[in-house]
A and B are shown apart, each in its own frame.
Chain A
């Protein structure tokens, strides 16, 4: 368990750095929330008064540690603009973003794993070549463009799915899914490409191993050799990339939530930036960063589940 303690300590250090850097960056953003609130005709006295009210006249580091202190107790401050607690604003929108990302990952894995398995059945064969071309095609496509293409196809041409808007789960499962399919596809159709290529290349390496020969010598049919013997030892890079891609996925979600008008964390963040609502931006970015770091921490734990050798090394002491 020594290993776990070290990892947790590192997690804390990383989160501290991330929040500090976010604070610094957010504070050098040009523009001022007071102008957004008071309008361009406000007198300098009014602005100075409001700045003092909001506590913006204090030195930056003082404000950071003040913020950090409250953040540790779960209070991310209140929006400068409308006084809404930032934590509450995030909590309200988080389910939408989480659902979007989980669905997008499911789409990506649901395409990547079967395609990779089928590609390595015959490397260089027609399926392998077509899937490689398709992967590079999708990879080269920006997600805002893919989103628009999907809207054009599924909403405008065939009128199958709504182009924008969101129905919460309380409206029924299908209504909810209907509004999520296109956004999830937009993210997933780009995400699967990297996962597929990574898994394919690891599978090819694994398939050269002696234990694959031995599995074949046992008389196992090719698909069982692939699924039972090759897939799991080949999935480590896939898992790593899956964790790292969460970052890209969050970035993509910001855009996709905008395109499909989904009330998620990404839209909240974008609104905060437009309004120079620094405390909201700070809270949201820190929250996203923490999520990213924690997910990658969990990914690291997952290795131990997948590979007994990792378990062996980590928990020997």
Chain B
């Protein structure tokens, strides 16, 4: 971590009120992100990683029955204390977001150029002609051939990979300081995934943006993130530099995740190691560690007590029986 964080999140909590009670989708997560760095947030479906970042930028509060708590400081401003208009200004001009599915994240009845230029006109005060020109430039920057023609087309006329490039163009249009990529390659073809990740990384470096890369794919996080935060059942269970996480995981869940990755050195037809059991029901939390029922190191204490995130050097983990350092 460098001196001053661009984004600092303290004790973020998100609860959804449902008929079965309050579901704690995010339960006391804290992290910091320095300028120009990439934080990979890793976890399986339902671990709360998407809800976490969406709640930070106010995109889950529209529905009723949602409660968001915690402190989100972006460039020294507490986002949750800004007026709605000021908040929208920060969101529109300084934070860009790319969603998982480019089939649904673009407006089907609006031309692509207009969708890119919209934020520019609103946040940068460009007139329509200037925004249209800039949209074409952005399209060519994200690697779309014939940008003038494409700008006048509708989303359904483009392939999935192209649409994700458009979504990236929209996200970076206003030159944000932070780019949030929420599973940006999950919905795409394997061959296209890499191109999109390369594009994200290139744009990030050129513009010096910080990036939060949400993914369930450890391989993606390993190759693209500086730091990794592993989430399980709405909590951060391990956080460290990417190198540390892969070399010396401390949390048994992370270890299990790493072990379930297929390896090129394995013989063909080797069975993948799966984690037994399933993630817990977030509406029925027990007092203990959420991972305990699936953990091979489980003891009585794990069922009775919730382990807190402890730090050893730059390495945080929440476990009573951490794996030996350097094992």
Residues of A within 8 A of B (CB): 122-124, 207, 209-211, 213-221, 229, 232-233, 306-309, 312
Contacts and interface: CB of A to CB of B under 8 A. Distances in A.
A213 B59 contact: yes
Contacts, number: 79
A14 B54 CA distance: 52
What does DSSP make chain A's interface, helix, strand, loop or mixed? helix
A217 B59 contact: yes
Contacts of B298: none
B156 interface: yes
Nearest to A225: B62
Given A211-B104, A219-B91, A233 B170 contact: no
Nearest to A216: B59
B156 A312 contact: yes
Interface in B30-77: 54, 57-59, 62, 64
Chain B, interface size category, equals 20 to 34
A219 B122 contact: yes
Contacts of A207: 62
Contacts of B274: none
A217 B91 contact: yes
B183 to A, nearest CB: 12
Contacts of B167: 214
15 contacts: A210-B99, A211-B106, A211-B108, A214-B97, A215-B107, A216-B59, A217-B92, A217-B96, A218-B92, A219-B93, A229-B110, A306-B109, A308-B154, A308-B156, A309-B156
Nearest to B107: A211
Q: Name which of B101, B119, B157, B167 has the most chain A CB atoms within 10 A of its CB.
A: B119
B108 A220 contact: no
B162 to A, nearest CB: 15
Interface string B115-151: 0001100110000000000000000000000000000
Contact of A229 (B91, B97, B100, B107): B107
Contacts of B95: 217
Contacts of B100: 210
B122 A220 contact: yes
Contacts of B156: 308-309, 312
A7 B118 CA distance: 37
Nearest to A232: B109
Nearest to A233: B109
Q: Name which of A122, A213, A214 has the most chain B CB atoms within 10 A of its CB.
A: A214
A166 to B, nearest CB: 41
Nearest to A209: B104
A210 B91 CA distance: 16
A220 B99 contact: no
